[in-house]
Amino acid sequence: MTRKYFGTDGVRGKVGEPPMTVDFALRMASAAAQVLMPDGGMVVIGKDTRVSGYMFESALEAGFVAAGVNVRLLGPLPTPGIAYFTQLLGGDLGVVISASHNPYYDNGIKFFDGSGAKLSDEQENQIEALIEKPIITRDSADLGRAVRVTKAVDSYKEHCKQTFPPGVDLNGLKIVVDCAHGAGYKAAPRVLADLGAELIPIGCSPNGRNINADAGSTKPELLQLTVKGVRADLGIALDGDGDRLVMVDNEGRLVDGDQLLFVLATEAARCGELKGPVVGTVMSNLGLEHALKKQGIKFLRAKVGDRNVLAMLREHGGTLGGETSGHILCLDKSTTGDGIVAALQVLAAVRKSGRSLAELVEGMPRYPQTLINVRTPARIDLDASPVVVKALSEARKRLADTGRVVLRPSGTEPVIRVMVEGEDKGLVDETAATIADAVREAARDAA
């Protein structure tokens, strides 16, 4: 089925433009209720700090109540917190109103099932098939009821703290935390303070329009400057909905998702707690794969997207995986990517090892990586293009075991992503440019 609305992580777009309209949210709730709760049930709804969250919350609430579904409203809470509450409250469905790391004028809607996991493609397809049909309204006696959950942040905070090892604390650690003016702005500082950290919060003053604005995991420059300026031990950056994490060491150097995954994997292996392989994606740095191999840790690559990482972990019995962007899955602690929980596991590794974050990442080299986005006016079959096939073959021979090439179409825009990485920066840049030229030629031929 060709999807019209659902992307790789729910539905997302500019507020006020299709599909992110109040009318669409109302119909989406009605469709989800018909597919997943035809005989009634309960849905948990949470959001990030965007000003548009209020109107989408109200529209979703109305659509579910009209369809005979009870609603629990959490208010602003990180995406993983909504997944947690869906399980805790026995909900049939969790709904997140967020556009993650996008600017405030975008928003989105995504779903979790009753176990706190993302819906299957089949379930999303069934919902999409009903979205354009009229909403349903049950008889008055069968309408749902809506209740606002109090102290949701406190409950989620305690859940996060329980994932931190007993007998370990953060006393004596000076930490800068940047919550991107997003959903984690209350929970993250409270968790860290409760565990004893000396805290410097930034990006923790949302006004509805400043979410992700020069802050958070996608804009860590202020965090890097602050960590060095206040002589902190490290910094933590979440994204707008709190499911993504990057960190900064005491020298202000960025520590990305690949490096965090290395820290967590080596610490779990050292303690005898690592289960199954570690799973990254096709975009994970080759340095991670080589570093884990040196430690005797099996590493697998999934397609881009945390749901693909999750599927591979489940298939192979693993519990630890993630993406370069900072989506870290600790399945022994949480059902989905959780920036606060992942940060706590890294902090636990720092405390238990007695080493700094900078020292813990020393064992993983980050190979130079070049990414070129080639716009393609027409869809092209890269495998059937002689010029692309030849360029790839020659590139792989030149790189041999010291590098690799990834060529993939974007899932969100009309571009082909050419990624080359390896030990030699000059060779990487030259190889990427050559392959990009081949893709452009193939695109001209297909036009």
Residue 217, both tokens = 């995991």
Residue type, 271: C
Cβ 346 vs Cβ 268: under 8 Å: no
Residue 388, both tokens = 């692309």
Report the alpha-carbon distance of residue 182 to residue 173 in Å, rounded: 24
Instruction: Tell me how far CA of residue 355 lies from CA of 59, 165, 340, 349, 352, in angstroms.
Output: 49, 17, 21, 8, 8
Dihedral angle at the C-alpha atoms of 170, 341, 71, 64, nearest 10 degrees?
150
Instruction: Residue 67: name the closest of 109, 30, 119, 121 by CA.
Output: 30
Place of tokens 């179409």: 409
Instruction: Residue 196: name the closest of 239, 227, 161 by CA.
Output: 161
Report the alpha-carbon distance of residue 38 to residue 418 in Å, rounded: 45
Report the alpha-carbon distance of residue 197 to residue 350 in Å, rounded: 13
Cβ 211 vs Cβ 182: under 8 Å: yes
Instruction: Residue 105: name the closest of 14, 194, 35 by CA.
Output: 14
Cβ 63 vs Cβ 26: under 8 Å: yes
- Catalytic site includes residue 100: yes
Report the alpha-carbon distance of residue 274 to residue 102 in Å, rounded: 34
Place of tokens 């080299």: 365
Name the burial class of residue 281, with classes exposed (0-12), middle (13-18) and buried (19+) by CB atoms within 10 angstroms of its CB: buried
Strands, E, within 23-102: which ranges? 41-47, 69-76, 93-97
Place of tokens 């974007």: 410
- Catalytic: which of 30, 52, 100, 284? 100
Please give the positions annotated as active site: 100
